[in-house]
Amino acid sequence: MIEHDATMHGAVEDSHPPSSERVDKPLAPGLYLVATPIGNLEDITLRALRVLRSVDRIACEDTRQTAKLLGHFGIRTPTVSYHAHNESSRASELIEALKAGGRIAVVSDAGMPGIADPGATIASEAIAAGVPVFPIPGANAALSALIASGLTAERFAFHGFLPSREGQRRSVLESLRAHATDEATTAIFYETPHRIVSALADIVAIFGPGQRIALARELTKLHEEFLRGTAAELLATLSARPSVRGEMVLLIDGPPAAAASGAMPRTQTSSLADEVAGLIKTENLSEKDALKRVAKARGIGKSEAYRELQRSQSRKC
Ligand code: SAM
């Protein structure tokens, strides 16, 4: 087993950097996984800047994006691309340089490399090759959203992006609800602005309109926003906006099973009709307005939604 820990690189308890990185010493050979800001350029650490200045090369998800960051801080270290499409071929090339004693940093466009971004492959290959791997901590969207969400941060599960296809997204959410444990666990997802309204509609349908959730938008940026409330409330708020923009993190309170009080039975007929019923109940909307909102959230026409509502009502009779 190959181990390298804080004790081998210098004590951290007294808040000194690892001895391999003392300002008076050249940076130790190895792979440095460096977190970069997720919006606010002040969110880069002094250590990250020193590492980025000192390594031989910086492997970037997008060299043009990283050039802006490096330019801002006057860093002239050469860059090389390292992204989803060349991850394995580039990783082998970088591992050879690391084995020869190189010092390489990996950065993604924003936040922590390896978290919904490239970085994990090269880290595991470096470990397998006996190359030291150093995390250089910093900004991360999921954890920043979690700590200010108001939901439990004691236990949480990060699920990356929700699937883009509606069927797969529903399966993921259904499985989350089905596998709820008794201990409250906040579920964290990354989501895109053009899918968030339909994702919220699915949450209303699967967990019930009263499910507590939070949405963190544009973290650390000028228009940072937290929406906290029930799934139906957030669905109503976002559906009422002419457009939804920005980067976002969606958090679902746990245990999802606790939403059983307001949760819908997991049947086909529960969805559209129950979303409408949920909005009527929680938002005091007329059936017409609730139907309009659900149709918009699902990206379907009002008449199609009306037909679906009638079908499910006749099935229930
Ligand atoms: N590696 C990054 C990290 O550590 O957070 C995540 C990269 S992932 C490709 C990009 C997604 O992260 C975005 O679509 C969004 O869901 C989330 N994200 C990134 N920056 C964000 C921000 N400033 N505010 C809210 N969400 C953000």
pTM here is: 0.79
**Is the C-beta atom of 107 inside 6 A of ligand 1?**
no
For residue 66 and ligand 1, the question of a CB distance below 6 A is answered with no
| Residue 282 pLDDT | 67
Q: Same structural domain for residues 26 and 133?
A: yes
Sheet holding 133-136, edge to edge: 79-81, 57-60, 103-107, 30-34, 133-136
The reported pLDDT for the residue numbered 280 is: 79
Among 94, 111, 139, identify where a domain stops: 139
**pLDDT cut 90: percent of the chain above it:** 68
Give the range of the structural domain holding residue 105, as residue numbers without chain letter. 13-139
* Residue 3 belongs to some domain of the structure: no
Residue 115 CA, closest ligand 1 atom number: 1
Question: Tokens 């010493």 belong to which residue?
Answer: 25
Does residue 43 have its Cβ closer than 6 Å to ligand 1? no
Looking at residue 264, its pLDDT comes to 43
For residue 217, report the distance from its CA to the centre of ligand 1, in Å.
10
Rounded (5°) CA angle 290-293-297: 140
Q: Looking at the 3D structure of the chain, how many domains does it have?
A: 3
Q: Whose CA is nearest to atom 20 of ligand 1?
A: 38
pLDDT tens sequence across 186-195: 999 999 999 9
Q: Is residue 259's pLDDT more than 50? A: no
Mean pLDDT of 152-172: 96
Query: Which residue, of 124, 139, 154, is where some domain finishes?
Result: 139
CA 174, distance to chain mean position in Å, is 19
Q: H helices within 137-195, ranges in order?
A: 141-147, 166-178
Q: What is the mean pLDDT of residues 88-97?
A: 92
| pLDDT at site 161 | 98
**Residue 251 and residue 183 share a domain:** yes
Which of these three, 114, 139, 164, is where a domain ends?
139
Same domain flag for 174 and 123: no
Residues 17 and 134 both lie in one domain:
yes
Average pLDDT, integer, range 254-276: 54
At residue 298 the predicted structure's pLDDT band, cuts being 50, 70 and 90, is low
- In DSSP terms, 250 is beta-bridged to 189, 215
Is the pLDDT score of 53 beyond 70? yes
Range with lowest mean pLDDT among 53-62, 84-93, 143-152, 186-195: 84-93
- Rounded to the nearest integer, the mean pLDDT of the chain is 87
Tell me the pLDDT band of 310, cut-offs 50, 70 and 90: confident
Among left, alpha and beta (phi > 0; psi -120 to 50; other), residue 219 is: beta
Domain assignment present for 7: no
Question: Are residues 249 and 150 located together in one domain of the fold?
Answer: yes
169 and 256 in a common domain: yes
Dihedral sign computed on CA atoms, order 169, 170, 172, 173: positive
Instruction: Name the token pair of 254.
Output: 């746990």
Same domain (yes/no): 227, 112: no
- Other beta carbons within 10 angstroms of residue 286's beta carbon come to 11
Question: Residues 114, 172: one domain?
Answer: no
- Are 86 and 166 within one domain? no
| Span from the CA of 87 to the centroid of ligand 1 (angstroms) | 20
Q: What is the DSSP letter of 210?
A: T
The reported pLDDT for the residue numbered 135 is 98
Q: Using the predicted structure, report yes or no on whether residue 112 has a pLDDT greater than 60.
A: yes
* 128 and 199, same domain (yes or no): no
Tell whether ligand 1 has an atom less than 6 A from the beta carbon of residue 79.
no
User: What distance in angstroms lies between residue 205's CA and the mean position of ligand 1's atoms?
Assistant: 26
Tokens standing for 106?
């990996």
Residue 46 lies in a domain: yes
Domain shared by 281 and 255, yes or no: no
Q: CA 235, 238, 239, 243 torsion: positive or negative?
A: negative
Residues 66 and 113 grouped into a single domain: yes
71 vs 40, 74, 201, 218, CA distance in Å?
15, 5, 42, 23
The pLDDT of residue 312: 74
pLDDT score, position 200: 97
- Asked if residue 51 has its Cβ within 6 Å of ligand 1, the reply is no
pLDDT tens for 60-88 read 999 999 999 999 999 999 999 999 888 88
pLDDT at residue 19, as a whole number: 54
Q: Is 117 in the pocket of ligand 1 (CB under 6 A)?
A: yes
